Structure 1
């Protein structure tokens, strides 16, 4: 790491980087003008990210700081290096680190350390190598400032580079540029700069340009290995020019940081790609199968298709029309070189021969190595020759294990972004093909098929996938048997098996086992355990950099939070899940996250957001058969309609969702939507249908698989009762809500109870439930429902807000007055904390004191208090004597 010093030179000249240098100039200008900002630079190994940062630091007129990735990646190691570069003394660096680490103030620490500079450019190289703590703190600082740094008056510009596969955080106003290969003219000029003392022979120059394909790092590494005689053409050039040593120099760092399983997968895809170029029959069709091959991993661990999806998600592999490949061909060759034994080949060795040698990668016990099979078009052990068979025959001649893995990865692709029942069929085929040779992989395929059938709302298909898994054992068998029993409503049998899954897998460090345990907890109705276990699964997936698994983990956590009634948490998780799903091409997961966000928006009363998210969910759910996502989206639309007084429309929308049978809603959500249907149907005059649904709901509630069910059943009976019967059932519903933990549903019951009391001409009795409902809706940020409760409260003759004496506001401290004004304008505790440089806990403490001082019950009353105070001040100002007696 280096401090604020200009380099003695700008480094080697940059060619074909006009757009990138223009973006750097814009960033520098913003920093000089006091508006600051962030510029992200991404590129592959050797494409010149570090050179661009060196040139930017050299050209910057203010104080440039160069910050490289640390040599180790312990917690906060990168932030420590950043502050060491910025701070004038070690003690100042330590103080800055404490501020960033203990108070979440990395932005304030940077502002303090750079306060003496008129403008600052911080060049951060290799952000992808920074530790997670430092990256998160830096991202939070950028996001809070919208690209600038609070407290620094926008004097700081951030120029940040990372490898191409790294995903930068979402920062408002940030620019991003991507480095690529040089043009022929740019590469030629760069080559001549690399050889200042001689002019390469034209034929040598052309061959260098052709074989290095405009890659600046590969070109520079190749030239360094050539002698002057070779460059002048008096000594023959080696074949190939770009050999293993060149590839290792440029790509060794990237490959060395990947897990061994990922390196093996890259090598296998490279074998398949090379085999396809040499005309091997069937190579393209079986690319997935070869990539997913490999049998058991190190130490006997079972293989997983997940690393393959992670490589695709990270951009190290491409996937087009079901075929895997490399956007960067040098990466594929480097992966082969890293897997190949260190033996020298003869000069006459062909590309196909080298592919065959590289195909001797570790294969599973009893599994035909994928490389030779694809190079020749079939497995040699099966006694066939490629030149006697066509492509389709060659694919059929592959071993069952290779074909099974091909189906497995095809099924995964459809599960991520295609028709889920297509995924189901492919995954079941994979399970059958893999059953004899690799039973663990067959078990994985069956569980994935069950996931596909679940998303498609097909109970029979779920049972078929689970019933065929005779190879499963331990908690896998418990999960299969327990879930089968639950799907056939044998809950006494299901409970013991699924509880064992939650207890055993819930303590695992494997994200996949944790996700299975969380699913078991949801089936049991234990939403608290489900949210806790899914949160642990998410944390483990992040810690292990399992990019492809993150969207699924976030999807499950969002749904668990939704079931538990923690809507703000569900929304936050779903938004992150939506970003990761879209970034990794998992469109089916994105549809589910849109549906969750639509349901949360229906709680918040944001009709526009409900319509937008529901439409986007249904746009994918329809063609892909996502019955679960479609049911959530339609339910959200119905809840929004009910909140807006459109009971008839809401009831009509909910009828198909609560109807049994294949044309109804999702089997796991049907009963959950019944209370909403009963409320809408009663209001719309469809009481007969509401009674039928309520009776079925009563039988389901008795099973005890949903915490709020008994309380919501009592609410349904209150809505359907005559005379004074509702009074008893509403009271029973409120009593039962106390132990179920879903505050929003409790508030809906209180609202319905208060409304019934008001209509019975008992306004004094109605005010208590309505006030409680209003406070709870406000805490849940359920704006539409809060307004409904407020209007009902006004109809009773009770004030809904602004009841405090405005004069009492003057008794608050200046800090409390600032907090009150921000909260009254709609800011959350976190937003107030960020604005005033406090912790959310401190803001909450101040608000409790404010409520006690003003004699109010919640933040919903603060706007009325502030308006009254401002009105009083305006009145005093208007009555004050004016200069001159006027």
Structure 2
């Protein structure tokens, strides 16, 4: 059996770690309860808050000790400012340490894809799942508010994704640190962490001042004797802060001897004075070493200190021993560590500020000379370099490149500093501008990226260099604003003397973004021009992009055959040019989306599954996110509502990891809204209305149109068809318009017809019917389009026979909801004409389709129609549901694999899903089965043979 790994935090004072923890009985009782639950398989999150010196580190050490005594594995780390530029530094410290590390460093070195942050998170999650399956685990992070942004991302995502595992997360923070930045992590990261901790139900422990009886007990521990009233009165100057109290008591002990007689006059030395006094008692060489170490940070290696003092490491032996004996420093596994950061600050304050800065700058050179990568010293280099230091600029650019895959926020900060040091006309300025703008986009700082681009691109760069920067901005801004991307391309194209390849690239990116935000005619002209330019210079990537834009145009014009033909040409060119799937050029999944538009969802889903598997195998996180959202849309069309919801939730989770921007969010929210409407989820419908209203205010036309649909459908669900029609004014008829729910759904014209008829606007309905008739004539071989045209005309003419014809045409379209909707309308219209038998048969068919899809709201409405005809059909609850305790087939597949011991990633690979989708299915299953851990889930499955059938 693997033994628990020792987990040690720096001692707080003297040898008090062997003494009982004073004044924290209530906190320890709660911790004991959580450790008992953890031993039984139930994890959770505990947040410990307290001011500096309040005893957070001492409490975490006690938690570690108690966990070890219970045979629970412990992993510990501390967030420190020195390592804030090391992505995942705190998590790696915890999970790579000890004789039996949770992570495999060799595997992490192999994660070299463009989006390493995403895959590192996946690897950490996988390894934690495996370890928790072997034995319970406690992960303790001290000073979590000082962690790097990548570690903060992990701390806000992993506890939720691993909620069913036997893992207890204990995070120590300063009060209020989740509401503001602490000088080392972005405010947004801390704010998101606070929000997620609330969602996961984290238990909060606030360490306040020690009560008087605890102060007396602590005084006895330090002094070795009871303290009298006068001494305790003096000790109250520490205001119940354990660290300050210990330092005051130590001062009394050292001044008055072991008896620690009470002071009759004056006050005990204050904390800073006590530290200075302790420094004065050291040998001069030791004092210098400690002061220099304090200027460099909480941790410093002997080699760094020796280089700065210009002595050998051997000559420092006596000094380091004396500093450790004086209880100022601790000999840690990574170097010399100050016992507490308050002590380091007090020591550093004995040096002039200018000297501290000089020492820090010299330390940067020492660390670089000793082989540390630029990313590890980026923070110090950025703080100490001066403008015009071109070596520093180059080093900071390298550091930003290293940080970018894991931590775009930190990379952007480093790159901004490199730009400041380079100056407005430096030899590296043009390249640094482009790099910084892209990093700001990746971190979601769109306004700042735009402002920087505007400042930097105001005539200071050569035309080709400026065009290169603007092309990069356009590619990135397309994830947030297609109109902004078009504007960047047009500005660049106006520059003189551009190369033909640059013009072709700009024209193709412009055409692609126009296809998602402009009129069809304008897009068509742009795509043709881009294709001609690309052919002239032989740029196959630009030609493929232009053809993809033309395929989008063909679909919006309703010509499915032409859309497929153009797309096949784009795929061939992209393959010959070796275009990576991770780039958002639609040929990577456009064919799959076209299959969905043509009603061939089965083929589309098979392609999507292959795309997901390929993206996972090749480590392309953006492609995985794109394929996941494509699959969510196809699942929605196929009527697999629970699976569509899980995929959409997975897309949102991946978007949070990748910073994928508004495209993924709007698409996912659209799918979630449509699912909520179908199943009758009242909270989901309210969210759909709220999201729709929010997207309506978005300046991006495609987001605006999608918001109109979401808000209108929510209004229609509340029987307010007049408002729904008003929201849809100009968004449907008169040519299909681009929207984020790509490709445009021809079936929405039927929905529009129904809303218009209910709103008493048959002339508006007639416009939609005419549009569908035109599309049917243009696509005579596509039964889906012909069926939709018949369905809409049946609604307009109130004709049950036409509706029945639509049912026949839609029967093989592989879109269960469309067939069910047509059958329901046919049954309703035939019942109005008195043909009850045919009406009941069609309503039964609709009920069966709605029930199979899980569309509870739609099914309930059909049952009401049947009751109106004198026919009663039982609900799924009355029939006992479709699976054990109401699990869907996909949820049941995940539950079986997890109960057999599979991790989320293993289950995902087996089922051709993303790990995020598996996590979503598992979360829903936990809710339905009323379990909180995988241990409970496994017991339940083993106790119920129907789960394994």
Q: Structure 1 residue 745: deviation in Å?
A: 0.9
Q: Relative to structure 1, is the Cα distance of residues 262 and 665 closer, same or farther in structure 2, using a 3 angstrom cutoff? A: closer
CA contact (8 A) 2:581 2:623 kept: no
Please say if 1:292 is aligned against 2:367.
no
CA contact (8 A) 1:407 1:426 kept: yes
Q: Structure 1 residue 697: deviation in Å?
A: 0.8
Q: Relative to structure 1, is the Cα distance of residues 425 and 111 closer, same or farther in structure 2, using a 3 angstrom cutoff? A: closer
1:484 counterpart residue number:
550
CA contact (8 A) 1:591 1:621 kept: no
CA contact (8 A) 1:614 1:634 kept: no
1:363 counterpart residue number:
none
Please say if 1:634 is aligned against 2:690.
no
CA contact (8 A) 2:548 2:586 kept: no
Q: Relative to structure 1, is the Cα distance of residues 79 and 485 closer, same or farther in structure 2, using a 3 angstrom cutoff? A: closer
Moved more, 443-452 or 594-603: 443-452
**Separation in 1 of the partners of 2:141 and 2:439?**
29
**Separation in 2 of the partners of 1:306 and 1:613?**
32
Map 1:425-464; keep pairs closer than 5 Å.
Answer: 425-430=487-492, 436-437=498-499, 439=501, 443-463=504-524
2:734 counterpart residue number:
660
Please say if 1:63 is aligned against 2:145.
no
How large is the Cα RMSD of the aligned pairs?
6.2
Q: Structure 1 residue 435: deviation in Å?
A: 8.4
Deviations 1:341-375 (CA, angstroms, capped at 9, x unpaired): xxxxxxxxxxxxxxxxxxxxxxxxxxxxxxxxx9x
Q: Structure 1 residue 675: deviation in Å?
A: 0.8
Q: Structure 1 residue 746: deviation in Å?
A: 0.6
**Separation in 1 of the partners of 2:168 and 2:746?**
54
**Separation in 2 of the partners of 1:788 and 1:429?**
54
CA contact (8 A) 2:517 2:738 kept: no
**Separation in 1 of the partners of 2:663 and 2:72?**
45
Gaps spanning 5+ residues in structure 1: where? 42-48, 70-77, 87-100, 115-119, 128-136, 150-155, 178-182, 295-304, 326-373, 375-390, 810-815, 842-886
Q: Relative to structure 1, is the Cα distance of residues 691 and 5 closer, same or farther in structure 2, using a 3 angstrom cutoff? A: closer
**Separation in 2 of the partners of 1:293 and 1:804?**
57
Report the 3-state secondary structure (helix = DSSP H, G, I; strand = E; otherwise coil) of the residue aligned with 2:4.
Answer: coil
Instruction: Give the counterpart of 2:644 among 550, 555, 570.
Output: 570
Q: Relative to structure 1, is the Cα distance of residues 569 and 244 closer, same or farther in structure 2, using a 3 angstrom cutoff? A: farther
CA contact (8 A) 2:593 2:630 kept: no
Map 1:719-798; keep pairs closer than 5 Å.
Answer: 719-721=795-797, 726-727=800-801, 729-798=802-871
Instruction: Give the counterpart of 1:693 among 768, 772, 788.
Output: 768
CA contact (8 A) 1:66 1:123 kept: yes
**Separation in 2 of the partners of 1:173 and 1:244?**
46
Deviations 1:396-431 (CA, angstroms, capped at 9, x unpaired): 13222332233234445644445x423320133345
**Separation in 2 of the partners of 1:504 and 1:394?**
33
1:241 counterpart residue number:
362
Report the 3-state secondary structure (helix = DSSP H, G, I; strand = E; otherwise coil) of the residue aligned with 1:512.
Answer: coil
Q: Relative to structure 1, is the Cα distance of residues 758 and 144 closer, same or farther in structure 2, using a 3 angstrom cutoff? A: farther
Please say if 1:522 is aligned against 2:593.
yes
**Separation in 1 of the partners of 2:510 and 2:28?**
52
Report the 3-state secondary structure (helix = DSSP H, G, I; strand = E; otherwise coil) of the residue aligned with 2:484.
Answer: helix
1:31 counterpart residue number:
34
Map 1:88-487; keep pairs closer than 5 Å.
Answer: 110=132, 113=135, 121=138, 143=160, 146=163, 149=166, 157-158=168-169, 172-174=200-202, 209-210=294-295, 212=296, 215-217=297-299, 222-223=304-305, 225-227=307-309, 240-246=361-367, 248-249=371-372, 273-274=417-418, 276-277=420-421, 280-281=423-424, 290-292=432-434, 310=442, 312=443, 321-322=448-449, 395-412=458-475, 414-417=477-480, 420-430=482-492, 436-437=498-499, 439=501, 443-463=504-524, 465-469=526-530, 470-471=533-534, 473-474=539-540, 476-481=542-547, 483-484=549-550, 487=553
Gaps spanning 5+ residues in structure 2: where? 15-20, 49-55, 78-93, 103-122, 145-153, 173-183, 206-243, 245-269, 320-350, 379-397, 903-949
Instruction: Give the counterpart of 1:496 among 557, 565, 582.
Output: 565
CA contact (8 A) 1:511 1:540 kept: no
Q: Structure 1 residue 683: deviation in Å?
A: 3.7
**Separation in 2 of the partners of 1:408 and 1:615?**
35
Report the 3-state secondary structure (helix = DSSP H, G, I; strand = E; otherwise coil) of the residue aligned with 1:511.
Answer: coil
Q: Structure 1 residue 246: deviation in Å?
A: 1.9
Q: Which has the higher contact order (CA 8 A, sep 6+)?
A: 2
1:334 counterpart residue number:
none
Q: Structure 1 residue 787: deviation in Å?
A: 1.3
Q: Relative to structure 1, is the Cα distance of residues 431 and 803 closer, same or farther in structure 2, using a 3 angstrom cutoff? A: closer
Q: Relative to structure 1, is the Cα distance of residues 700 and 839 closer, same or farther in structure 2, using a 3 angstrom cutoff? A: farther
Please say if 1:677 is aligned against 2:766.
no
Q: Structure 1 residue 322: deviation in Å?
A: 2.4
CA contact (8 A) 2:633 2:671 kept: yes
Q: Structure 1 residue 726: deviation in Å?
A: 2.6
CA contact (8 A) 2:438 2:473 kept: no
Map 1:595-610; keep pairs closer than 5 Å.
Answer: 595-610=670-685
**Separation in 1 of the partners of 2:457 and 2:816?**
61
Q: Relative to structure 1, is the Cα distance of residues 519 and 4 closer, same or farther in structure 2, using a 3 angstrom cutoff? A: same
**Separation in 2 of the partners of 1:547 and 1:50?**
37
Report the 3-state secondary structure (helix = DSSP H, G, I; strand = E; otherwise coil) of the residue aligned with 1:658.
Answer: coil
Q: TM-score, normalised by structure 2?
A: 0.57
CA contact (8 A) 2:632 2:643 kept: yes
1:3 counterpart residue number:
3
**Separation in 2 of the partners of 1:620 and 1:23?**
47
1:591 counterpart residue number:
666
CA contact (8 A) 2:791 2:806 kept: yes
**Separation in 1 of the partners of 2:301 and 2:483?**
48
CA contact (8 A) 1:587 1:620 kept: no
Deviations 1:227-280 (CA, angstroms, capped at 9, x unpaired): 4869899x99978422345255376689999987959999998576245247x2
**Separation in 1 of the partners of 2:522 and 2:813?**
33
Report the 3-state secondary structure (helix = DSSP H, G, I; strand = E; otherwise coil) of the residue aligned with 2:546.
Answer: helix
Q: Relative to structure 1, is the Cα distance of residues 288 and 144 closer, same or farther in structure 2, using a 3 angstrom cutoff? A: same
1:130 counterpart residue number:
none
2:937 counterpart residue number:
none
Q: Relative to structure 1, is the Cα distance of residues 461 and 789 closer, same or farther in structure 2, using a 3 angstrom cutoff? A: same
Q: TM-score, normalised by structure 1?
A: 0.60
